[in-house]
Amino acid sequence: MSTSPLSPQDKAKREAGYKAAEYIINGMTIGLGTGSTVAYMMTRLKERITEEGLSICGVPTSIQTTMRAMALGIPLVGLEQVEKIDIAIDGADQLDPELRLIKGRGAAHVRERIIADASERLIIVADPSKICQQLTGPVPIEIIPFSMSHVIRRLSDLGGTVIVREGVKKDGPVISDNGNIILDYTPPAIPDPEGLETTINMIPGVVSCGIFTEFTKKTTVIIGEKNGPRIIGL
């Protein structure tokens, strides 16, 4: 059976994902992010396990990643079972020149932040469309259901627009793997990502927003490009 050729964007994602898999060495515990670019990394990781006898274990950030890893035969452990995570490999929806990120279009950013914080190194895989000079949003925000009206009012007071993310093939809001609601907040601008991240995360009822500014010093970004992957950072 023939398969459709990859689009230029998917080729870039594959380049980035395959390159990230090269950073993994025997005995590592890997944080497995969520999304299409990480899926390519997992495919290459499975090949290395089969071809090289690579021995690793992964800590997944979502149900989707768990299911994908199980289908590929990648060994998994829970976060509570490990003392440290050597490398987390994840995607991003936007990244700026200082390696600050917006994540969460897949509604997994709360678990992804926990895994990033628990990891000694963070590798972000992306295609060139994710690079921007300034983060713009929308900013995904996970909230507990009880707080929805209050959080929406508080965000509206900051300016910009707030919507409740609606499900696909499901009536009503998107529900995260943690059982919470996802908002998408588009501020007028994000001149100070660190400040906006703190402001949003301090609103009672917010579990976590999708702005990631605290991991830049341990972040490597791999951008898949036509002439091969480009490495930014460590």
Q: Is 22 a catalytic residue?
A: no
Which amino acid makes up residue 37? T
Concatenate the DSSP letters of all residues of 140-163 into one string.
EEEE-GGGHHHHHHHHHHTSSEEE
Catalytic option among 112, 142, 166, 194? 112
Give Cα separations from 99 to 10, 53, 122, 161, 215 (angstroms): 22, 33, 11, 25, 8
Using the structure block, give the residue that is written with the tokens 């050729």: 5
Token representation of residue 192:
């100070």
Give Cα separations from 25 to 18, 51, 52, 55, 58 (angstroms): 14, 14, 11, 8, 13
Least Cα distance to 101 among 109, 93, 110 occurs for 93
Tell me the C-alpha distance between 206 and 188, whole Å.
Answer: 20
Tell me the C-alpha distance between 85 and 136, whole Å.
Answer: 30
Q: Which residues are catalytic?
A: 112
